[in-house]
């Protein structure tokens, strides 16, 4: 719908000008014209070339000014140094979007980057959008629009369909396009983003969300630059019930280098991407094959939020393979109703009717067995997804037509389910099953993985809005990285409970504080110059009396001086020593792409050795926080494992949610927060941060 | 080589009789004859049917007795109740092996099981081997021997080659055969084992090891029954440098039900299979696709023990995908030598020469770039495995022939490396590349997974014999499950160090023991009726003086009586309380298929919540024990994480190895051992079992 989003026009322009058009169909400026002519592009195609009256049999124009009409889209296939002027002309004429094939811009060094900047500025001046430069362009098999010079079409043009492909790589985007073609996956549009000087990956995804010809979006990403725009597009896709499957490769070196804080180094940039994609219901593909499997099945547009798998098989072994795969994928396979099991058993004594439902090779003698068993699985089992394993019997000429009839009968009666077949059959026969509404996956394991993804889409589409993030007062960040006591004061203002403690400048004051808090206490050195206190022996645990407090105070002064001569000594923090709780870590890291991200894990070895942590983008509500806490592998330790009482999950979740809001409100100066440890006390007794480090970008003085 | 192993004859018989031969080529007794005639079986084919002089144009014989010669192999396709007599006749005549197609035996109930037993007894009496019953038989495309009625061949016969397929499922074995055919994977023999009344999966694998026409063995298993024979076959395969890739589906319900001990319930039966397969260098496939990918690449017979991957690509994105996949697979991708990188950079300024080596689309303008870059990767990079990503350019008519010439030139100069290509090309063009020595995997991720497997095969083939298991004195098991003190005495005899302790029948004795051992001590109740002491409060920690010992003694008597009135009370165990060590668990479970299996893990939550354990079949040496210990995720805790001293790994490994020998020597009456906890003390200070439970099968009194 171009009205809603002008970029949709880029996917299906009504008129196209090719600047730098070539009469040679193998040249960059010749290929798009050759492709569009051979594929019957219906819009107006206008080659621009100052030296020729005709290009590949079409009337050519000498210049942009000489075009008989303003094109929806212009393809720019001229040398980099000429491109800015061409783009300026196009923009001034009111062209909606330009696709710049030319290379030699930002990817080629500083000089190219300057040219690129100039070119984008010209385009923006008149509101023209720009794809590229260094882009392999746009392919739309349905309209025959080939704003691309990709040579993958030499082995065959892609077929029209409803999967949009958005790729940050031209070569790999074309590779995907070729595989989609060979797998019979129809494509609505394939857009390769190139340098993303203007139109970014998020823009492309958003255009596909707004494109009425696209149902499913497959994304290939190498380095996401427009976190906010991409997230907006993903949320729009979720609301429009358009599934997004994404292959995000590599780990950002920028992100890793920026990972200075404890929290960040524990999690890693790729885990942030995982968390963000999961938040928007995007299925992250592990391989090209996986991405296209999911995209292909998704074109059925059946996304069962309460997914379950019923299996009909002619091989017990295949049934086990499918059950194994479903368990790994987390896809439930409930048993058939007992009454139905009895009925099927009466029908066929050797059948295994539980689910997988094994109708054995007996169906070869009576084809209605396949139909009746499948009908039972669908109607009485009530599964949302149904997978039939018929292997080579589903492909054999002597069997397939009769089997097809049986299966089609069931499917037509219950068209609301997701139907898959695992058969070994010729491409023609596969097309027949596909036309009947059955998606064919030769490998049953791959079928199961794809089915599970449909359920995740459904859950994301139907997700009710969660609790709003808690209200947290705005807190001013200090001008520079604060010491522990200051950090805790900042957090306390944000409603984060800290262990009772007092900052004391003198030994006498410390004794008074300890008496007031109650023994045992912990003494910690207080200095803005010393962040990692325990490494210099700056923390004394289990101090039980006044004499100990006095001696400890002097010892900490001595240790600070020894470790860092001249360090500013501001006294000692006296804190009540907590016991009986479970140590946790709560943290914030600022991701350069997606903004602040919260982390939760159990303390000590659990994060450092076992890497058992969970992440979520900030801000979020207490419901999400509680889900995070319950999702870690070590969660049983919080819920009362090994005879211990369960901890105060509500208090812990509240702290995590408030921390996320604090981080969100704090803005980009907040680099990281580490609450380590937080003591999660037994139920009803709260949770308290015992140590806190906040890192901020220092304000210029 | 039939001389070495008579079962090889079953794969390629010189003569075949079909008992129950049918003139109808669609019947079970007709299909093998039809298939063999159409596929040109070269040996003598003798139908047996009392009612016809000719079957499908071949002279038929009225009975086994009437056969003109004793067949190498007989196919039995008669009703179950007739089969035992036929088998007896065949065996008496000296037939080497019979394949019994007939169903209705053990799989059909108790009566069938009796018939099956009688049939096997007849065969064994004369030394005839028996495949099945209820078997889909044997397929050998190379000799045209189709001792099978599988209908998968209706869509095309498999091609001859060097991959052996051993399957416990007829339907799924045929499915694999069909996929292999469609993927162009040549098969030496496919054997489907059926009920395994005589010939087991292990026998089949062993026959393929001894078959000179098989290089690679692909196994599909549902429930392994012959653990010892299978392991012998796998070890023979390893010694013969024949890779085995196995898909083992499901988890044995028998095994799970038998999992009574703590150790067993922590580990699970499937983990035992994993450990055993890894021990023999078998690659466990996660899907059919994965199995056939590995088998196909393995036919190149290049198994680099020091595997490394060099990548040449025309797409930066594909390079990242491949690097990601290699990292997940644990396949090293070292950098190219700096001098070579500089040279390549000089040749092509936009190239990325590190590895992946990106020669960019520039090679389209100068095809020798592809050759020179690939040559540099192979000769100067020195990688054992080389993957070229050329996507659709490798399939395009305008490019492929010249690219092929360049690549072939490199390969011919260095034929010792493993070469793969990721291209999008027609089947004909793929065959050309394959003929040149390049294995083609369209999906680069699948290519990487297969490459990594070749290295694992190489490591297994080249593995030097490890240390012998330590010598452990033979220890007599008690007649019934012993109490803690007895259990520890048994283990101490096997050289397993236990924490210093004394069993004391009276309070005064306990005080004397505590004084001798030194405080603090631990008091534990001693009763053969109470195995899980801590659950009834039967363990008192940190007892610091004589008064505490006396009070504790009385308290334990009271608790025992309260928890289990009438329990036999034998006193109290007084043990020195160890501190400063790391808690570990060492255990033994008896697997019904593979025998005793040892487990190692860290104590408490690490095994119970994090399931961080490692298993190995018994017995093994201290080197294997140390590898096990170092392989768990939590190993850093033993090696000195978080400022703690490293523990005494040597002592811990010694204990684990001795435990494995003890379990091996103890025989089948030993059900399980749990040493929980074992304290691994700081380096040089040993490791001590603090609690020990041994379960034995009770001897009849």
> Which CATH code, of 3.40.50.720, 1.20.1440.120, 3.90.550.10, 3.40.50.261, is assigned to B153-299?
3.40.50.261
Decide: A147 and A137 in contact? Cβ < 8 Å: yes
pLDDT of residue B255: 35
Q: What is the C-alpha to C-alpha distance for residues B10 and B189, in angstroms, rounded to an integer?
A: 10
Q: For an interface test with B, give the residue of A328, A392, A429 to mutate (most B CBs within 10 A).
A: A392
More confident call, B1 vs A351: A351
Give burial (CB, 10 Å; 0-12/13-18/19+) of A69: exposed
DSSP H or E run through B426: none
More confident call, B569 vs A418: A418
Q: What is the C-alpha to C-alpha distance for residues A476 and A494, in angstroms, rounded to an integer?
A: 10
On the question of pLDDT at B312 being above 60, the answer is yes
Instruction: Name B350's Cβ contacts closer than 8 Å, sequence gap at least 6.
Output: A108, B360, B362
Q: What is the C-alpha to C-alpha distance for residues A246 and A261, in angstroms, rounded to an integer?
A: 28
Instruction: Name A329's Cβ contacts closer than 8 Å, sequence gap at least 6.
Output: A448, A449, A451, A452
User: Does the ipTM surpass 0.90?
Assistant: no
Mean pLDDT, chain A, as a whole number? 92
Q: How confident is the model at residue B605 (pLDDT cuts 50, 70, 90)?
A: confident
Per-domain residue ranges of chain A: 1-147, 150-299, 309-462, 500-576, 582-696
Give burial (CB, 10 Å; 0-12/13-18/19+) of A506: exposed
Q: Residues in chain A with pLDDT < 70?
A: 1-3, 251-268, 642
Q: How confident is the model at residue B214 (pLDDT cuts 50, 70, 90)?
A: very high
B612/A contact by beta carbon, under 8 A = yes
Closest CA to B553 of B485, B611, B507: B507
Closest Cα in chain A to B289: A443
Shortest distance between the Cα of B182 and any Cα of chain A, in A, equals 9
B172/A contact by beta carbon, under 8 A = yes
Fold of A1-147: Rossmann fold (3.40.50)
Where in A49-185 does DSSP place strands (E)? Answer: 54-55, 58-59, 73-76, 97-100, 129-131, 137-140, 145-147, 160-167
Q: Does 3.30.470.20 match the CATH number of domain B582-696?
A: yes
For tokens 């049983």, what's the residue?
A636
pLDDT of residue B438: 98
Q: Beta strand pairing status for A439-440 and A418-423?
A: parallel
Q: How confident is the model at residue B251 (pLDDT cuts 50, 70, 90)?
A: low
Could you read off the pLDDT of B456-492 as tens digits, one per residue?
999 999 999 999 999 999 999 999 989 888 999 999 9
Average pLDDT over residues B227-255: 86
Q: Does 1.10.3210.10 match the CATH number of domain B316-451?
A: no
Q: What is the C-alpha to C-alpha distance for residues A623 and A621, in angstroms, rounded to an integer?
A: 5
Cα B523 to Cα B29, B537, B575: the distances in Å are 74, 11, 7
B314/A contact by beta carbon, under 8 A = yes
pLDDT of residue B423: 96
B62/A contact by beta carbon, under 8 A = no
Q: What is the C-alpha to C-alpha distance for residues A489 and A483, in angstroms, rounded to an integer?
A: 10
pLDDT of residue A255: 35
The torsion defined by the Cα of A120, A126, A132 and A134, in degrees rounded to 10, comes to: -60
Find chain A residues with C-beta within 8 A of B316's C-beta: 169, 171, 222
In CATH, which superfamily holds the domain spanning A150-299? Succinyl-CoA synthetase domains (3.40.50.261)
Are the folds of B153-299 and B582-696 the same?
no
A-B C-beta contacts closer than 8 Å: 177
Find chain B residues with C-beta within 8 A of A315's C-beta: 169, 171-172, 175
Q: Which of A182, A320, A612 sits opposite B249 (nearest CB)?
A: A320
Distance of CA B447 to the CA centre of its chain: 22
Q: What is the C-alpha to C-alpha distance for residues B221 and B194, in angstroms, rounded to an integer?
A: 11
Decide: B668 and B697 in contact? Cβ < 8 Å: yes
A468: left (phi over 0), alpha (psi -120 to 50) or beta: beta
B79/A contact by beta carbon, under 8 A = no
Q: How confident is the model at residue B279 (pLDDT cuts 50, 70, 90)?
A: very high
Decide: B443 and A288 in contact? Cβ < 8 Å: yes
CATH of domain B1-149: 3.40.50.720
Put simply, the answer to whether A169 touches B317 (Cβ < 8 Å) is yes
What percent of chain B has a predicted confidence (pLDDT) above 90?
Answer: 78
> Which CATH code, of 1.10.167.10, 3.40.50.261, 3.40.50.720, 3.40.190.10, is assigned to A309-462?
3.40.50.261
What does B304-364 look like in DSSP terms, one character per residue? Answer: -TT--EEEEES-HHHHHHHHHHHHHHT---PPPPHHHHHHHHHH-TT-B-SSSEE-TGGGG
Put simply, the answer to whether B321 touches A637 (Cβ < 8 Å) is no
Shortest distance between the Cα of B367 and any Cα of chain A, in A, equals 16
Could you read off the pLDDT of B414-462 as tens digits, one per residue?
999 999 999 999 999 999 999 999 999 999 999 999 999 999 999 999 9
Shortest distance between the Cα of A7 and any Cα of chain B, in A, equals 25
| Rg of the Cα atoms in chain A | 31
Find chain A residues with C-beta within 8 A of B446's C-beta: 287, 289
Q: What is the C-alpha to C-alpha distance for residues B210 and B6, in angstroms, rounded to an integer?
A: 10
Cis peptide bond upstream of B619, omega within 30: yes
Question: Which A-chain residues 428-457 have CB contacts (< 8 A) with chain B?
Answer: 442-446
Cis peptide bond upstream of B494, omega within 30: no
pLDDT of residue B361: 79
B289/A contact by beta carbon, under 8 A = yes
DSSP H or E run through A212: none
Q: Does 2.60.40.420 match the CATH number of domain B500-576?
A: no
């Amino acid at each position: 719908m171009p009205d809603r989003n002008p970029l949709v026009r880029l996917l299906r322009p009504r008129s196209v000008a090719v600047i730098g058009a070539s009469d040679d169909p193998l040249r960059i400026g010749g290929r798009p014209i050759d492709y569009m002519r051979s594929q019957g592009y219906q819009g107006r195609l206008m080659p621009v070339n100052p030296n020729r009256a005709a290009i590949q049999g079409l009337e050519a124009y000498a210049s942009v000014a000489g075009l008989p009409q303003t094109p929806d889209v212009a393809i720019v296939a001229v040398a980099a140094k000429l491109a800015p002027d061409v783009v300026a002309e196009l923009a001034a004429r009111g062209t909606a979007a330009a696709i710049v094939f030319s290379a030699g811009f930002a990817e080629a060094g500083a000089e190219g980057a300057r040219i690129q900047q100039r070119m984008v500025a010209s385009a923006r001046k008149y509101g023209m959008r720009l794809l590229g430069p260094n882009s392999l362009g746009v392919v739309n098999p349905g309209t025959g629009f080939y704003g691309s010079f990709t040579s993958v079409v030499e082995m065959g043009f892609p077929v029209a369909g409803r999967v949009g492909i958005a790729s940050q790589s031209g070569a790999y985007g074309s590779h995907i396009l070729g595989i989609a073609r060979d797998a019979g996956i129809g494509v609505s549009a394939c857009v390769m983003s190139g340098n993303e000087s203007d139109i970014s990956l998020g823009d492309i995804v958003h255009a596909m969300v707004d494109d009425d010809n696209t149902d499913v979006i497959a994304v290939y990403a190498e380095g996401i630059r427009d976190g906010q725009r991409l997230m907006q597009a993903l949320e729009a896709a979720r609301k429009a019930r358009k599934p997004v499957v994404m292959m995000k490769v590599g780990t950002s070196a920028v992100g890793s280098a920026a990972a200075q804080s404890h929290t960040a180094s524990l999690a890693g940039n790729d885990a942030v991407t995982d968390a963000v994609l999961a938040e928007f219901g995007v299925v992250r593909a592990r391989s090209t094959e996986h991405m296209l499997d999911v995209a292909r099945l998704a074109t059925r547009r059946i996304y069962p939020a309460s997914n379950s798998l019923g299996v009909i098989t002619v091989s017990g072994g295949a049934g086990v393979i499918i059950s194994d795969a479903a368990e790994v994928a987390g896809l439930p396979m409930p048993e058939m109703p007992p009454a139905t099991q009895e009925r099927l058993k009466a029908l066929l004594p050797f059948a295994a009717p539980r689910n997988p439902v094994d109708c054995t090779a007996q169906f070869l003698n009576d084809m209605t067995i396949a139909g009746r068993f499948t009908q039972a699985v669908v109607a009485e089992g009530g599964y949302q997804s149904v997978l039939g394993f018929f292997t080579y019997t589903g492909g054999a000429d002597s069997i397939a037509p009769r089997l097809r009839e049986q299966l089609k009968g069931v499917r037509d009666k219950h068209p609301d389910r997701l139907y898959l077949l695992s058969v070994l059959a010729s491409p023609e026969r596969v097309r027949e099953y596909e036309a009947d509404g059955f998606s064919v996956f030769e490998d049953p394991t791959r079928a199961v993985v794809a089915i599970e993804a449909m359920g995740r889409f459904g859950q994301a589409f139907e997700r009710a809005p969660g609790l709003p993030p808690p209200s947290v007062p705005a807190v001013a960040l200090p001008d520079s990285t604060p010491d522990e006591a200051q950090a805790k004061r900042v957090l306390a203002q944000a409603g984060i409970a800290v262990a009772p403690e007092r900052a004391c400048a003198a030994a006498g004051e410390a004794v008074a504080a300890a008496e007031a808090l109650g023994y045992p206490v912990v003494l910690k050195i207080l200095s803005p110059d010393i962040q990692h206190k325990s490494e210099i022996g700056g923390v004394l645990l289990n101090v039980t009396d006044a004499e100990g407090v006095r001696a400890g105070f002097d010892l900490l002064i001595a240790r600070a001086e020894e470790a860092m001569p001249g360090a500013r000594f501001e006294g000692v923090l006296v804190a009540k020593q907590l016991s009986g709780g479970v140590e946790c870590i709560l943290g914030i890291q600022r991701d350069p792409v997606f903004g602040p991200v919260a982390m939760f894990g159990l303390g000590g070895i659990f994060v450092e050795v076992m890497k058992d942590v969970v992440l979520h983008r900030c801000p979020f509500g207490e419901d999400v926080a509680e889900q995070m806490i319950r999702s870690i592998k070590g969660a049983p330790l919080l819920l009362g494992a090994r005879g211990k009482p369960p901890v105060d999950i509500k208090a812990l979740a509240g702290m995590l949610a408030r921390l996320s809001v604090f981080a969100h409100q704090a803005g980009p100066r907040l680099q990281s927060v580490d609450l380590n440890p937080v003591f999660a006390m037994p139920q009803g007794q709260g949770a308290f941060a015992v140590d806190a480090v906040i890192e901020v970008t220092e304000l210029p003085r």
